[in-house]
Every structure is written in structure tokens, then in C-alpha cells.
Chains A and B, each alone.
Chain A
Amino acid sequence: MKTSEQDSIGGANMARRSFLRYAGLGVASAGLLATAACHKDHKVIVGNSIDIGAKGDLAILNYAYALEQLEAAFYIQVIATPYSGMTGDEKALFTSIRDHEVVHREFFKKALGGNAIPALTVDFSTIDFTKKSAVLGAAKAFEDTGVKAYDGAGYLIQDAGYLTIAGKIVSVEARHAALISNMLVAGSFAADDQVDNNGLNKSATIAEVLPIANTYLKTKVNASNYGYVAS
């Protein structure tokens, strides 16, 4: 099994699934979850974890792909099960962000082809999707972490074309981050939790980002060649 189900991105079914279990790439089913992580025999898969692989651009792109999978899955859930009192404007904004994250994810999947890590299984059990504050708080964490992750990994990219593409994505993530921050606290779009005294956005290493991402993933993502393996 794989492609036909993985290639469809069913949103409607997703709403009926438990928050705890659905694949980032589509219709959740126990079968898909069980097999998605092992049908690509060239990936480094140990138990319910994967590694982004040998040092190099493919590893960094897979790292980005992992983060985009996580973000896309999150916003798919936000739209599938809107929090209480979500306004029309808010829904439109979250729908746009969802769509951006989905195309980021699909881009990496397509561009990486056979080198892509598999679909990750997310775990959003710590997020109360019925509460606006919880959703905005989680969204801020995802966006801010995403910006810091791209900024922190840029220098590891060796190909100018890939670096430019990463740049094209990170500024959109920063636009999202600024919007979400302002939705939480008006005017906090570049507050000092994310921007330092030199006016620079903070950045984070792979070893700093993946432990955060893994708290929302059943499939743990490791980067053994970049100094991080989930404990």
C-alpha cells in the first residue's frame, strides 16, 4: 500500500479522527501508519523513528520536510476542528497558512522524491484544539521554531539553489509568525522573545529544534550526524 492514499490529502475525514492519530500526509488509518514508516527501504529507520541521514543537503532538506509535515498537519487540524468562536477572518487566515504549509510539504516531497523521509505520524494530544489560546500558542511555537530552524540551518546548505529556496520559505514562515504573534498580543510581531538586541531573529540548531518537534511526533526524527538522537 502507499501512494494512492498518501497522495490524497483528505481533510474531511481528518476531522473525524482522534486528534492523537493521523498521518501528516493524509487519510489516517492504522494500516497506513504502520506501513508508511517502513516501505522505503533506503531510509534509516529504527523502531518508530527516522534519521535525516548523512551530512549534506539532502539531510537538511529532509529536516525542513519534517518540520513542514508537522506544520501542515497542525493547521489541517486547526481548520478541521475550529476552536470555539473562530471568526470568519481568523478561519480565512488559518486556511491560507494551512495551504502554504501543505504546498511547502508537497514541494519537499516532490523535490526529494525517493530521497524523502516517509510521512511522519503526529501527536497533538497536548494541544486543546477547542481553545483559541491553545491553538494560537501552539501556532506561535510552530512558526517561531520554524523560522529559527531555517535561519539556523542555512549555513549548512551547500547548494546555492537550495539555499535560495529555503530563503523563499523562511520569510513566509516569518510572515506567519508575525501574524500569529499579533493575534496573541497586538504589536508583538518582533518582540524580544524572538528578536535579539541587534534586531536579529534568533536562530536554533538542529539539535535544539528536533527535541521540540519530537514532542508533537510519534515518529521521532533524529539527526545523528548533526548531534541529536531522541532519548
Chain B
Amino acid sequence: MNLFNIVEELEKFDPELNDRLNPRRAAIKNITSFGTKVALAAVPFAMGTMLKRAYGAAAAPTVVEVLNYALTLEYLESSFYNMGAASAGLIPAAGASYINTVKDDENQHVAFLKTAITASGGTPVAIPKFDFTAGGGTGNGPFKGLFSNYNLFLKVALAFEDTGVRAYKGQAPNLLGNKDILTAALSIHAVEARHASAIRQLLGVSPWITSTATVGNDTGVPQVNGNYAGEENVTQGGVNLTTLPSATGSTTSVAVATAAFDEPLSMDQVLALLVGTFIYS
């Protein structure tokens, strides 16, 4: 367990974001200076458990831990859309049915996962606190004003959806062979991808993630570069996709190779992207 890792991840995240986070970052560093026990006490029990798992232990998470991790992500998404839908004047009529569909799905995911966790003998984690400006609780992060700026709202929505797809994908191996839970997780994963595609259509960017050879992020929002890191991968199962024939030639472009395969993120990668910015306790 080391909150410093998170802070250092954030330092790499984006210079402008880091400037905005300075007060908060200093606070986190001060907390860590008191020692691990104090730092752990600063986060809810369940989140502390996940962070320990992510940063301290090599063992694969249990099914319940995977489900609680998923629940945390769904809390984030559902709270985000609930706030968006409740923000008068934010969502134009043309987008209302899209956003409502996504909102309803995310709330259903929360309910479903709670039931699945209980049925698996676990206890659903409590909902953490969110700062959708990515300000770590200051409400003053890089996405400040997102609930009165539809374009900004959609950009944050897209980062959440694409990250959610990556997060579920990253947990599939931890549910290997588990017919009920893996199938359910893959089924949520597919719905998150449907959402990501639709939000991309609302934003006017391609429905799939079209990376360059060096930059995974294709959204035009540099603050979320970390959420797309690795999407530029063109090698799958030892096969370099760019060497394969395409519909019109003997090789495949990087754009096609990256768009045709979405990449996973591990639990610790996702938590490093969210904790301290969007999730602050």
C-alpha cells in the first residue's frame, strides 16, 4: 500500500492537472508522512482493501473483489449520469434519450452487482465520494463546470466509458471459466462498449479508438491520455497486425490495427487513474 504511487502516477498524468492538484497532492503527501496506518485510515475500508490488493499483493483478486471493483466503477458512472440528468439545461433534447439510456444501464449495473456480490457471499462496498471535475475533492479540477457544459460533460462521459470497457476487459482472466460471473461481466463489458460508441457519436469522434503508433488517446482531450495509454498496441497474441493483409493491400495500417482491438487495463492501473482525482475517499 503506497499512496505515493498514486501521487506519482498523477504527476505523470498531465502537467496542467498536476498544477491544479497541487494543494491536494501536498495533502496526500502529508498524510503519507504520518505513516501507512494513517493513510489507510483516510480511505474507506473497502477501498483500502482494494488498494492493498492493487499495490501490495501479487495474488489475483477474488471474485467478490472483482465484483466490488466493478461496483465502484459503476457507482462512479451512475452518480455521474444521475448528476448530469439532474442538471437543468445541461443535456439538449437531441441527447436526452442517449444519456437516459446510459444512465439507466449504469444504475441497473449497480443494482445487479450488489445482488451478485451478496449472492457470492460478499458485502457490497459503500459508495465512495466523487469529484467529477477530477479535482480530488476540491471541485476545482480540470473538468470544472462539466455539469453546465454539455461538450465537457460528454468528454468526461467518454473517458469513463472507454476506461470502463478497459477495466472489465482487464478482469476477465480473473473470472476464467466462471460461467455465470464471467458471462455477466462480459455482458456488462459489451454494454459499456455500446455506450462508449454512442457517446463518441454524440461527440463527433469515431465510434472506435483509433490510435497512432505512439499515442493511444484519440479523443482530443489530453487530460485523459493515461486512460488510453496502451491502446496504440498493434501486437496481439504474438502477431503484429500491421503485417497482415488488409482488404485492399498486403499490410494493415496502425489506425485499423489499433481500432480493431481494444486494450485492457489492470485494477491498479484503473485505480491510479481514478483515485485522488475522480474518487477521493
Contacts and interface: CB of A to CB of B under 8 A. Distances in A.
B is a partner of A: yes
A55 interface: no
A2 to B, nearest CB: 15
B260 A172 contact: yes
A102 B173 CA distance: 26
B208 A8 contact: no
B173 A100 contact: no
Nearest to A161: B237
A203 B186 contact: yes
A151 interface: yes
Contacts of A100: 208, 256, 259-260
B260 A99 contact: yes
B108 A198 contact: yes
B104 interface: yes
Contacts of A171: 165, 169, 189-190, 192-193, 196, 262
Contact of A170 (B107, B111, B186, B236): B186
B65 interface: no
A38 B197 CA distance: 40
A128 interface: no
Interface stretch (B40-48, B150-158, B177-185): B177-185
B18 interface: no
A220 interface: no
B101 interface: yes
B178 A170 contact: no
B187 interface: yes
B26 interface: no
Contacts, number: 206
B172 A182 contact: no
Interface in B229-261: 236-239, 241, 244-248, 252-253, 256-257, 259-261
A148 to B, nearest CB: 8
Given A100-B259, A171-B262, A163 B172 contact: yes
A189 to B, nearest CB: 4
Report the contact-size class of chain A (Cβ under 8 Å from the partner).
35 or more
A189 B206 CA distance: 15
Instruction: Determine chain A's interface SS by DSSP, over half rule.
Output: helix
Given A99-B247, A104-B260, A200-B184, A176 B207 contact: yes
A8 B245 CA distance: 7
B241 A200 contact: no
Contacts of A186: 97
B176 interface: yes
A175 B186 contact: no
Contact of B189 (A104, A170, A177): A170
Contacts of B189: 151, 167, 170-171, 174
A167 B257 contact: no
A152 interface: yes
Contact of B246 (A103, A147, A154, A170): A103
A151 B106 contact: no
A178 B197 contact: yes
A231 interface: no
Contact of B182 (A154, A169, A199): A154
Contacts of B173: 160, 163-164
Interface of B: 97-98, 101-102, 104-109, 111-112, 165, 168-169, 172-173, 176-179, 182-184, 186-198, 200-201, 206-208, 236-239, 241, 244-248, 252-253, 256-257, 259-264
Given A164-B173, A175-B196, 7 more contacts: A110-B239, A155-B179, A160-B173, A172-B261, A195-B191, A199-B105, A201-B194
7 tightest Cβ-Cβ pairs between the two chains A and B: A199-B108, A174-B193, A160-B173, A178-B197, A201-B190, A200-B187, A171-B193
26 contacts: A9-B247, A98-B247, A99-B253, A99-B260, A100-B260, A107-B241, A154-B182, A154-B186, A163-B176, A164-B172, A164-B264, A167-B169, A167-B186, A169-B260, A172-B208, A174-B193, A178-B194, A178-B197, A189-B198, A195-B105, A198-B112, A199-B112, A200-B191, A201-B188, A201-B190, A203-B186
